[in-house]
Amino acid sequence: MRHAGKLITFEGPDGAGKTTQIQLTAQVLEESGYSVVRTREPGGTRLSEAIRQLLLDPCYKEMSGVTEALLYAGARAQLVSEVLLPALAAGNVVLCDRFVDSSLAYQGYGRGLDLEMLRVINTFALHKLGTFCTVLLDLPPEEGLGRSAGVAERDRLEQENLSFHRRVRDGYLILARDYPGRIKVVNASADPRLVQEQIQEYVMAYLTGRDQGGAFE
């Protein structure tokens, strides 16, 4: 199925400034005449937001890695069918705060779950999504955790130890190395204005067809 619209996903650790950067990107695109839809993962639909509550509540300490991976994939499948496919078919530019690379980075590299199995369940969840482009806001985990909420307010994933977050970061960088056509790395430690400039360069290259992006594989 061919889509008129385009999907751009934003990845990186908590505290990398994704929300602010996505908001700025949306503003710039709207001013240039693009019709923009913003969404997030896990979440973005009534059902996916309910799954988000389960996933992030620190009270579910017993949640197994496999359960976690399947819940993320379930929330994703609902977002794809209910929001992403219709928005792309209608010609929108969709900006998504986190997507499937989060599962490879957190559940794969962070938790140590089988990467091939994660690819299989997520290929199923993505349905016929096609190509997209990913902006990875790269930041050392120490910096990201320092910028985000205090320990008491951290969600179940944020409460993981530093070595978990280091594996997540390294995982993201491995993915960026393996899929250079789709994943573009931006240094999120830089001044936020420079970060935004770099993002706009990548985003415009993709929207104008200079960059092709890639499919999830």
Does residue 39 interact with ligand TMP by CB under 6 A? no
**58 preceded by cis ω (within 30°)?**
no
Does residue 185 interact with ligand TMP by CB under 6 A? no
Chain position carrying tokens 């988000």: 52
Q: How many residues make contact with ligand TMP (CB under 6 A)? A: 13
Does residue 157 interact with ligand TMP by CB under 6 A? yes
| Integer Cα distance of 135 and 187 in angstroms | 10
According to CB under 6 A, which one of 3, 37, 78, 98 is a site residue for ligand TMP? 98
4-23: contacts with ligand TMP (CB under 6 A): 14
Tell which phi-psi region holds residue 213, choosing left (phi > 0), alpha (psi between -120 and 50) or beta. Answer: left
What does the per-residue mask of binding to ligand TMP show for 106-145, with x meaning CB under 6 A? xx--------------------------------------
CB 118, CB 62: distance < 8 Å: no
Q: Which stretch binds ligand TMP (CB under 6 A): 35-43, 87-95, 192-200, 203-211?
A: 35-43
Number of Cβ atoms within 10 Å of the Cβ of 67: 13
Toward ligand TMP, which CB reaches closer, 17 or 42?
42
Pairing mode, strands 36-40 and 183-187? unpaired
According to CB under 6 A, which one of 72, 109, 202, 216 is a site residue for ligand TMP? 72
Does residue 41 interact with ligand TMP by CB under 6 A? yes
CB of 113 to ligand TMP, least distance (A): 11
| Integer Cα distance of 187 and 203 in angstroms | 15
Which residues, 6+ apart, have CB-to-CB distance to 94 below 8 Å? 5, 6, 7, 8, 36, 37, 38, 39, 83, 84, 87, 88
For binding to ligand TMP (CB under 6 A), which residues are involved? 14, 40-42, 56, 72, 98, 102-103, 106-107, 157-158
